[in-house]
Amino acid sequence: MNIKIGTRGSLLALWQAEYIKAKLEAGGLTTEIIIIETKGDKILDRALSKIGSKGVFTEELEEQLHIGAIDIAVHSAKDLQSELHKSLSIIAFTEREKTNDVLVSNKDIDVDTEITIGTSSTRRVAMLKSYFPHFKIVDMRGNLQTRIRKMEEGQCDALLLAYAGVNRMKYNELIRYEFDNKTFVPPVGQGTVAIEISNNLDKNKADVVRTLCNDLETEQCLLTERAYLKELKGGCSIPVFGNAKLLEDKIHFTAGIISLDGKEIVKTTEIQNNESPAELGIKIANIILANGGKEILEKIKAQL
């Protein structure tokens, strides 16, 4: 059985594709990797929020799934929009890495001083404005290697990135500060790789891929997070956050929304009792909306 793997062309995306390739080939399948350039890869002179909030890094891969040019699309789960086309499904989430955000730099930095941070994430910008208001923030687009080069050229003192990507690309020696993810809560999906398929894919192929790649604990957490994001109708440009952990067979879910200027934040933590993962995500979304999140969301959409 041969599996055609669709991926973006950055080194980090290719790491993810090779990671999936290795899992599939260990299970006896043959594979081929097909590189597809996305809108988010092509447009680097604008902030992500100005390009569009849906499918910035996924649309072109999904088009190839629709026409059968690839069997599976491999994504960073945090890049996936909250609502998929009805003909598409996610069949696997890989075992999750540490979800924290980190600061990386080629020099020593002191987070208590005024330093310049590079990031293109509206969530990270809003949280920095709230928790580190003395930081100066500059928009920083491009793949990880491009951003590190820009930092080394002096465009910023440090980059704000996900630990998982830094670790996968072996830049750990550049980590200068790790944010507490109980306060600096990561986005939905951070730290895991998602596999997307067309519902027309041969069922036997889909079942084998899921069996070889899906981590059940991570899946429970991601079903919670993605149900929350879908109910909240939060896109990539909306500073929404959500992080679920499975502890003693119960999901502990912290989630919320923060205003663009960092001055308003609605956040809550719930522990799953009788709800399914999706029910817990929806429940939290409605708690957030009912306690000021709806007004924050409306303001954000008017500003973007």
Angle between helices 277-288 and 216-232 (to 10 degrees): 30
Q: Is 106 exposed, middle or buried (0-12, 13-18, 19+ CB in 10 A)?
A: middle
pLDDT at residue 91, as a whole number:
98
What's the angle, vertex CA 90, arms to CA 86 and CA 95, rounded to 5?
165
Active site residues: 79
Predicted confidence band at 274 (pLDDT cuts at 50, 70, 90)?
A: confident
- Domain 231-296: CATH class, spelled out: alpha beta
And the tokens for 77? 């789960």
Mean pLDDT confidence for 117-132? 96
Nearest to 67, CA basis, from 13, 2, 4, 1:
4
In whole numbers, what is the pLDDT of the chain averaged over residues? 93
Predicted confidence band at 230 (pLDDT cuts at 50, 70, 90)?
A: very high
pLDDT at residue 141, as a whole number:
81
With a cut of 70, say whether residue 196 has pLDDT above it: yes
Pair type for strands 158-162 and 2-7:
unpaired
pLDDT at residue 234, as a whole number:
73
Mean pLDDT confidence for 11-15? 95
pLDDT at residue 237, as a whole number:
79
- The residue extents of the domains of the chain are 2-94+192-214, 101-178, 231-296
With a cut of 60, say whether residue 296 has pLDDT above it: yes
Assign a CATH topology to domain 101-178: D-Maltodextrin-Binding Protein; domain 2 (3.40.190)
Is the domain 2-94+192-214 a CATH 3.40.190.10 member?
Answer: yes
With a cut of 60, say whether residue 258 has pLDDT above it: yes
**Strands across the sheet with 250-258, in order?**
240-247, 250-258, 265-271
pLDDT at residue 142, as a whole number:
86
With a cut of 90, say whether residue 247 has pLDDT above it: yes
pLDDT at residue 56, as a whole number:
63
pLDDT at residue 233, as a whole number:
85
pLDDT at residue 99, as a whole number:
97
Top-confidence residue, 151 or 301: 151
Predicted confidence band at 210 (pLDDT cuts at 50, 70, 90)?
A: very high
Q: 91 vs 55, 230, 233, CA distance in Å?
A: 18, 17, 22
With a cut of 70, say whether residue 133 has pLDDT above it: yes
With a cut of 60, say whether residue 50 has pLDDT above it: no
Predicted confidence band at 45 (pLDDT cuts at 50, 70, 90)?
A: very low
With a cut of 50, say whether residue 51 has pLDDT above it: no
Mean pLDDT confidence for 28-53? 69
**Dihedral angle, C-alpha 226, 17, 121, 217, nearest 10 °:** 30
Nearest to 161, CA basis, from 134, 135, 191:
191
| Domains 2-94+192-214 and 101-178 in one fold | yes
